[in-house]
């Protein structure tokens, strides 16, 4: 069986220019006070937001991107001197970074626009006191299907993807925890699992799925769905929504056997070289109109409650981007797991990729 592997990374493409920029600013930006160094997921901060911030404040943004939480974490751990002022980890890494004293507690008195956030996201499980993080974009992981190819298939659960009829057809995200979430959920386990026996069973469950897997990719999902390079699999809701705007045959499904809700948030690293500018950046993006601009550019949901009033009705009313409370109750927020569980997932992930 032919299987393709795209190692573009988790959540977005790692752009060459970003690493070039990173190597340059790390040596010179420390001496320049009129900058803010931002390290974020690719495609989760609109270039328009960056340009508008620079225009309105006169502060230059050195913006670079990463392709996985693991890359962000390793980069920060390896740096003897703080390089970044604002970084954007996912929910479950915020707990880890706070525990390891890698990020600073926020001074909310410097964030006058903090009031714009939905209170449901200001004290999440991964940051229960709301001390460290500013939620920026949200996402939900579910199933996409191109109804041109499967007009009558009843696809309601992750377990449906194990059907032999989808042999060599599935797109899986190139993200170990996301894939293991599916392996765990279909066995009735939590996606935030520390039990090593349960993780082993999830691995075996995913091995059984391998004949159906066509490729792993996270970097170009919308274009692949639009061009019909893949016709069924797993995706983030924003990517499926983007694709459906150009290919109306794309349907997004929230699986009845549960799904994961992720939150990517801004935090300030410990000893950030331009802390004042970091607060200016955070307060700026907390503006309702700026958060709304971000949604219209990327289609990722926002935790900025005030921004909803500035969104087009079609977008604000989309059940894919903004699912109902009843749907959300079926989801799990992704939280931190222990080192043994992470090591097990990493080891099993390598084995999956080799098969």
Give domain limits for the chain: 4-8+139-261+332-354, 16-138+263-321
20 pLDDT higher than 80: no
Please state the pTM of the whole predicted model: 0.78
Domain 4-8+139-261+332-354 in CATH 3.40.190.10: yes
* Whether domain 16-138+263-321 has CATH 3.40.50.2000: no
| Per-residue pLDDT tens over the stretch 143-161 | 999 999 999 999 999 999 9
Strands of the sheet containing 86-87, edge to edge, are 60-66, 35-41, 86-87
**pLDDT band at 12, cuts 50/70/90?**
very low
**164 burial type by CB count under 10 A (0-12 exposed, 13-18 middle, 19+ buried):** exposed
What would the mean pLDDT of 173-179 be, rounded to a whole number?
A: 93
User: 322 with 316: CB under 8 angstroms?
Assistant: yes
Work out the pLDDT band at 119, boundaries 50, 70, 90: confident
* Rounded CA separation 202/196 (Å): 10
Same CATH topology for 4-8+139-261+332-354 and 16-138+263-321: the answer is yes
What DSSP letter does each residue of 237-301 carry, written as one string?
Answer: HHHHHHHHHH-TTEEEE--TT-EEEEEEEEB-BTT-TTHHHHHHHHHHHTSHHHHHHHHHHH---
Instruction: Give the length of the chain.
Output: 355
- The CA distance from 96 to 55, in Å, is 35
Element housing 93 (H / E): helix 91-99
pLDDT of 19 strictly over 70? no
């Amino acid at each position: 069986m032919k299987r393709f592997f795209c190692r573009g990374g988790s959540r977005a493409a790692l752009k060459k220019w970003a690493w070039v920029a990173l190597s340059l600013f790390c040596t010179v930006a420390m001496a320049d006070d009129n900058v803010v160094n931002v390290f974020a997921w690719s495609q989760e901060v609109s270039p328009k937001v960056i340009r508008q911030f620079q225009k309105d404040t006169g502060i230059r943004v050195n913006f670079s991107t990463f392709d996985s939480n693991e890359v962000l974490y390793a980069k920060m751990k390896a740096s003897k001197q703080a390089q970044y002022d604002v970084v954007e980890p996912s929910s479950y890494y915020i707990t880890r970074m706070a525990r390891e004293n890698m990020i600073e507690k926020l001074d909310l008195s410097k964030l006058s626009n903090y009031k714009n956030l939905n209170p449901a996201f200001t004290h999440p499980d991964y940051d229960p006191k709301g001390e460290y993080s500013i939620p920026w974009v949200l996402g939900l992981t579910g199933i996409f299907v191109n109804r041109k190819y499967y007009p009558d298939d009843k696809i309601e659960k992750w377990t449906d993807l194990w059907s032999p009829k989808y042999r060599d057809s599935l797109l899986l995200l190139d993200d170990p925890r996301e894939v293991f979430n599916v392996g765990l959920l279909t066995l009735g386990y939590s996606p935030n699992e520390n039990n090593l026996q349960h993780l082993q069973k999830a691995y075996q469950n995913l091995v059984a799925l391998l004949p159906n897997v066509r490729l792993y990719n996270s970097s170009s999902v919308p274009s692949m769905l639009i061009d019909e390079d893949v016709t069924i699999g797993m995706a983030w809701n924003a990517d499926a929504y983007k694709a459906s705007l150009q290919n109306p045959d794309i349907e997004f499904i929230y699986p009845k056997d549960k799904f994961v809700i992720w939150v990517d948030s801004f935090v300030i690293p410990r000893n950030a070289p331009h802390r004042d500018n970091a607060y200016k950046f955070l307060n700026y993006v907390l503006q309702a109109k700026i958060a709304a601009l971000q949604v219209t550019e990327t289609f990722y949901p926002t935790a900025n409650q005030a921004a909803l009033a500035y969104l087009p009705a079609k977008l604000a009313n989309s059940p894919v981007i903004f699912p109902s409370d009843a749907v959300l109750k079926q989801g799990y927020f992704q939280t931190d797991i222990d080192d043994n569980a992470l090591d097990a997932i990493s080891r099993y992930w390598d084995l999956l990729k080799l098969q």
